[in-house]
Amino acid sequence: MKRINVLLFIALLVACFTLKAQDPWKITADKPNPANYYGVTIANGMIGIVSSAEPFKVKNIVLAGAYDQYGRGRVSNFLNSFNLLNMYLEIDGKRLTAADVSNFRQELDMRHASFKTTFDYGDKATITYTYYSLRQLPFTVLANVSIKAKKAVTINAASVMEAPDALKEVQNYYNEIDRPHVTISLLTSTAKSPTGKLQLCASTSFIFKEAHGQEPRVIHEMWDNNMHLMKFSKKLDQGETYNYAVTGSSITSAHHSDPLNEAERMTVFAKLQGSDRLLAFHNQAWDELWKSDIQLGGDPQSQQDIHSMLYHLYSFTRAGSPFSLSPMGLSGLGYNGHVFWDTDIWMFPALLVLHPEIAKSLIDYRFDRLDAARRNAFSHGYKGAMFPWESADTGVEETPVWALSGAFEHHITACVALAAWNYYAVTQDKEWLKEKGWPILSQTADFWASRVERNGAGLYEIKNVVAADEWAENIDNNAFTNAAAKVNLQHAAAAAKLLGIKPNPDWSLVAQNIPVLKMENGVTKEHAGYKGEGIKQADVNLLAYPLKVITDPVQIKKDLEYYEGRVPDEGTPAMTQAVFALLYARLGNTEKAYHFFKDAFEPNLLPPFRVIAETKGGTNPYFATGAGGILQSVLMGFGGLDITPSGIVQIGSKIPAQWKSLKITGVGTEKKTYQRN
């Protein structure tokens, strides 16, 4: 009875979300409840701004690539940056708070990555402000503010710079650059990370519409070492609308050798561009991203949800970045901002088929840390390159000691290799394959050749691992690990042939003798000691996709029917049901595929913006890993896209009855369009 009530509650919650969620590009929250509020992220692949239900506040600012240790597991952690977008507004001497406003409304515009808040302050004013993490400027943000006076009022508006608690040795600066054509007020802060490893800096400036000499006078106030502000006053007539903006930049010594001056330089650059030009370039950049899109007919809620998933993956990444993706992207400090197999297996493929130039940044991140992977293999007594289960800035193992996955979840090495091979397959870029792909593929193959225990024909075993199903710890011959190692070895040999290099003959020998076990009923066995236990997440089913080691539809169906019943209703990550959806779509069972497509994320949605938690009933959004898996169920499942050694093709599959059509645009390097009706 308790389980039925929980499921009923979830169904009612989802129904409530669905009532107004029909716009394919905008998610709106009318009068959101601060006590049940999970912020949405505005990001540009470098800076993430997490929304708040409090007027003129943001929850936090997350900056990609900023890691240091500060007491959580003795490993590197993501750091919050300076909160450079907090503001306040006073009207006739009264500072506005949530208790003072009415008609409070927030809206995420996914097409152009903006977050707008609108509210009324009694009979005195209507206020609107909109945040942007500027796509064309990786370290720069913008907030546009509009105040419409319902009667004559005096406003006092402030831009507040706050330092997170973890930072130390905070120093605050304020200066004005006075030129004949412009005056620039700079509110700047700098601090050290907890161990002193990094210098973090941020700077902001007002952007006014008035001509030079007519803009408001800016005043600086220093409250304490962790907060200072700049503010101005303005009298407004009844019916007058006044607009101003705050732009700012945040950067660290992980990104630039002179972050303090660079933060101010980038802020000056944005200030002198002006709001209109900044937004024009920002919108243009997002228009380019959305040329690669997934368009559904007949199911507006699913269309909005798919756009949300794409929006978040696009927001959390960017071409040319030296950083990769964590499971929570730039939505917070979840999983310490570390990089797992979540990137290579779950998020990378969707980005690869839609934006290969973004996917390149993710696999180049792995190449840049290949030396660290070689040292990791050496320290464990193996050859080649062994990638860490959790990676941060340097590429060394960053898994907390209490988690056994760091020492034993070795399948990550084959996951990295699969991403490298698939990047070549989609782009057919032999220069990249020679320069970066081959070193990854060959050295990971060398790892597996040294990792197996050679116990006879068909018994080159891989013992003592943590499975892809992480509830199975220190077990032997895990299905996914063994099959992924086999694929890694085969792809290394294929790459050698393409490049005219003689492959190590041992690779083929090892690949042929790695076992994939079966149970008496013919179902693929998850590991040597498996006896039908519940599983945390997909393992055996990944052998059909993405590994393609199991290709017989009868076997795929048998494995699906067995393992889908061994995933609990709660407490497991969203990716598993996404794989079930993908495989059932390829088998032609669209009813089951659609069920698992919905089951992968709808019970995980949180108010008021339908952000995805990691698990059903979880509260830690945004789970970008799950979004990546669900997008694969649409692209590679219902859409039938398939990555082959010669590029992307479309194989047989069907769309569910709830959809009238499925159109995928901007696919691959040639930006092709694929359709299903």
9 pLDDT above the threshold of 80:
no
Q: How confident is the model at residue 219 (pLDDT cuts 50, 70, 90)?
A: very high
Q: Measuring CA to CA, which residue among 573, 575, 597 is closest to residue 585?
A: 597
pLDDT of residue 627: 98
Query: Residue 281 to residues 208, 275, 326, 673: CA-CA distances in angstroms?
Result: 19, 10, 27, 26
Q: How confident is the model at residue 175 (pLDDT cuts 50, 70, 90)?
A: very high
Average model confidence (pLDDT) for the chain? 95
Q: Are strands 168-179 and 47-51 parallel, antiparallel or unpaired?
A: unpaired
- List all residues 6 or more positions away from 329 whose beta carbon is below 8 Å from its beta carbon: 41, 43, 48, 312, 313, 315, 316, 622, 624
CA dihedral 59, 573, 13, 593 (to 10 degrees): 130
- Cα 260 to Cα 188: distance, rounded to the nearest angstrom: 8
Q: How confident is the model at residue 340 (pLDDT cuts 50, 70, 90)?
A: very high
Q: Measuring CA to CA, which residue among 572, 451, 449, 462 is closest to residue 527?
A: 462
Can you state the angle between helices 590-599 and 575-587, rounded to 10 degrees?
170
Q: How confident is the model at residue 10 (pLDDT cuts 50, 70, 90)?
A: very low
Q: Measuring CA to CA, which residue among 181, 193, 196, 101 is closest to residue 147?
A: 101
To the query of whether residue 431 is one of the catalytic residues in this protein, the response is: no
To the query of whether residue 54 is one of the catalytic residues in this protein, the response is: no
- Which residue(s) pair with 191 in the sheet? 200
> Reading across the β-sheet that carries 661-667, which strands appear in turn?
293-297, 661-667, 672-676
Question: What percent of the chain lies above the pLDDT cut of 90?
Answer: 93
19 pLDDT above the threshold of 60:
no
pLDDT of residue 617: 87
pLDDT of residue 572: 86
- Asked if 373 and 364 touch (Cβ cutoff 8 Å), the reply is no
Give the up-direction half-sphere exposure of residue 116: CA atoms within 13 A in the CB hemisphere: 12
- Cα 238 to Cα 234: distance, rounded to the nearest angstrom: 13
Q: How confident is the model at residue 38 (pLDDT cuts 50, 70, 90)?
A: very high
69-73, 238-242, 411-415: which has the minimum mean pLDDT? 69-73
CA pseudo-torsion sign 365, 367, 371, 373? positive
Task: Provide φ and ψ at 664, rounded to 5°.
Answer: -115, 120
List the catalytic residue out of 90, 240, 470, 473. Answer: 470
Question: What percent of the chain lies above the pLDDT cut of 70?
Answer: 97
Query: Residue 452 to residues 80, 157, 490: CA-CA distances in angstroms?
Result: 42, 65, 15
pLDDT of residue 33: 95
Q: How confident is the model at residue 45 (pLDDT cuts 50, 70, 90)?
A: very high
Task: Provide φ and ψ at 164, rounded to 5°.
Answer: -60, 155
Quote the pTM value: 0.95
If you average pLDDT over residues 517-542, what whole number do you get?
97
pLDDT of residue 224: 80
Can you state the angle between helices 575-587 and 624-632, rounded to 10 degrees?
0
DSSP state of 201: E
Q: How confident is the model at residue 11 (pLDDT cuts 50, 70, 90)?
A: very low
- Asked if 81 and 47 touch (Cβ cutoff 8 Å), the reply is yes
Domains detected in the chain: 41-290 (2.70.98.40), 293-676 (1.50.10.10)
Q: How confident is the model at residue 436 (pLDDT cuts 50, 70, 90)?
A: very high
16 pLDDT above the threshold of 60:
no
